[in-house]
Amino acid sequence: MKLCEINFDGIVGPSHNYAGLSLGNLASARNAGAVSEPRAAALQGIDKMRANLALGLAQGIFLPHPRPDRQWLMDLGTTIDDADPALAANALSASAMWAANAATVSPAPDSADAKCHLTVANLRTMPHRSHEWPATLAQLRLAFAGEGFAVHGPVPPAFGDEGAANHMRVASSHCEPGVEIFVYGISGGAFPARQHIEASKAIARLHRLDPDRVIFAEQSEAAIAAGAFHNDVVAVANERLLFAHELAFADRDSLVTACERLVPGFEYVEVPAAEVPLADAIKSYLFNAQLVTPPDGQPTLIVPTEARETRSVWGWIEKHIGGNGPIRKVEVVDVRQSMANGGGPACLRLRVVADPDMVDPRFMVDNDKLDRISGVIERHWPEEIHHDLQRPALIAKIERARLALLETLGLSELA
Ligand code: SUG
């Protein structure tokens, strides 16, 4: 069995649009009502996956969900034709593309039963995301059906859980037992805290983690108030490295001390607010980067183009790399369509440390399969979506597009 980190990217669905649905997510609010480009958005995501493959990383996919979610509308006593526009937008969101919110993952080396555990996120805080979990769970059950995995249903909706976006793992290498950091928020400010500590504690128990190797860290109020609606907007970890903004955590010192005690070779890289103000970090998504270790062993940061365009951020990156800091390389990817809804490179992927041969191969990709997927996107994804979300011809096109993709991938059972 050969464990490695696999990035599963959510393919951007054909209903991708800007409806301004996420309170506390500044990009979503700023772009409310803008014209979206689902085809370009999905192709940007495919190019990001190609860049990961070119780095020598293992790459997987998750599929768009059925949209509009007719079952959800039926449970609310309405249909896509009759629903008021706000409800219709909630039923049509392509938010499942942000796979970092699909589930929390604890790899086999961390669990008492040596299985890789995945708990689907309930996403109960935002109405448009609260109905994602059944379609996510169906995919997790197919992709990770093997004996080495344990897939769990959502934590009860009393407590908000937003998946891996608020979870980090530090370990001397992916294959060694790690320390899992669950970051939670406490409500009180203008924006909701989407991850509750009770949900995180439940997941740590369900995943059979060693309580001595689990840390619960509070997100700083300043970060939430500045628009860090998920911790992965202000921090990211990979193997021995934790990379974070100075203002990410309520009590940074305790977190760093615990990691130093538990993880051999642990390194903390902090970006001071004096060099990169929180607002610049959030606008540019410096921390919503994929921090990865390609086969060449050089820790690499995959940032969105917005990071290069933000002077303080790009200056910090150049200084760090030029000064021989622990992050050795930077790659820039264009995911502007997703960024405009508050989703950067790291939001678009779920990391799973596992043996790729144990994953259902329909969820793994190489360049040939990405060619076939882009072919379907080019043929079927709408070029633009304006504000006429309930137009019957658009709805029919969106539904047909997804079915064409499922058929191409041999996944029609998800229909
Ligand atoms: O949940 N945006 C998503 C972005 C998720 C980013 N994920 C991570 N940080 N891991 C959200 O706020 C916008 C939808 C709209 O406004 O139409 C949205 O749902």
Q: Render pLDDT for 91-101 as a digit per residue (tens, 0 to 9).
A: 999 999 999 99
Residues sharing a CB contact under 8 Å with residue 221, sequence separation 6 or more, in sequence order: 186, 188, 189, 250
399 has a pLDDT exceeding 90: yes
pLDDT in tens, 305-325: 999 999 999 999 999 999 999
- Find out whether the beta carbon of 25 lies less than 6 Å from any atom of ligand 1: yes
CA distance 165 to 183: 9
Q: What percent of the chain has pLDDT over 70?
A: 99
DSSP 3-state of 66 = coil
Please tell me if the CB atom of residue 341 comes closer than 6 angstroms to any atom of ligand 1: yes
The rounded distance, in Å, linking the Cα atoms of 125 and 158 is 10
Least confident of 74-78, 219-223, 282-286, 326-330: 219-223
**Which residues belong to the active site?**
162, 230, 347
**Site to substitute for ligand 1 among 130, 347, 349, 387, most atoms within 8 A of C-beta:** 347
Question: Would you say the CB of residue 385 lies under 6 angstroms from ligand 1?
Answer: no
Q: How far is the CA of 7 from the centre of ligand 1 (A)?
A: 19
Q: How sure is the predictor about 188, in pLDDT bands with cuts at 50, 70 and 90?
A: low
Q: What is the pLDDT of residues 340-356, one digit of tens each?
A: 999 999 999 999 999 99
pTM: 0.98
Is domain 4-414 annotated with CATH 1.20.210.10? Answer: no
Residue 266: alpha-carbon gap to chain centroid? 24
- pLDDT for res 191: 85
Q: Which of 9, 16, 25, 385 to mutate to test the pocket of ligand 1 (most atoms within 8 A of CB)?
A: 25
CA distances from 365 to 62, 142, 231 (A): 11, 16, 28
pLDDT at 217: 97
pLDDT digits (tens, 9 = 90+) for 28-38: 999 999 999 99
CB of residue 338 inside a 6 A radius of ligand 1: no
22 lines ligand 1 (CB under 6 A): yes
Residue type, 163: G
Pocket test for ligand 1, best of 17, 28, 133 (most atoms within 8 A of CB): 28
pLDDT single digits (tens) 258-294 = 999 999 999 999 999 999 999 999 999 999 999 999 9
Distance 234 CA to ligand 1 centre (A): 15
Ligand 1 centroid to Cα of residue 341, in Å, is 6
Cβ 98 under 6 angstroms from ligand 1: yes
Whether ligand 1 lies within 6 angstroms of the CB of 18 is answered as yes
pLDDT recorded at residue 273: 97
Ligand 1, atom 14, lies closest to the CA of 21
Mutate to test the pocket of ligand 1, among 97, 98, 387 (most ligand atoms within 8 A of CB): 98
**Strands 167-170 vs 179-184: parallel, antiparallel or unpaired:** antiparallel
Ligand 1 neighbour 5 (Cβ under 6 A): no
> Which residue's entry shows tokens 């974070």?
244
- Cα 352 to middle of ligand 1, angstroms: 21
Report how far ligand 1's centroid is from the alpha carbon of 263 (Å): 32
Mean pLDDT (the chain) is: 97
Label residue 77 by pLDDT band (50, 70, 90): very high
Output the CA 353–ligand 1 centroid distance in Å.
24
Structure confidence at residue 387 (pLDDT): 84
Confidence at residue 189, expressed as pLDDT on a 0 to 100 scale: 77
Say which amino acid occupies 11: I
Matching residue, tokens 């996510």: 136
Return the domain boundaries, the chain: 4-414
Cis peptide leading into residue 68 (ω within 30°): yes
What is the pLDDT averaged over residues 127-152?
A: 98
Report pLDDT digits (tens) over 209-263: 999 999 999 999 899 988 888 999 999 999 999 999 999 999 999 999 999 999 9
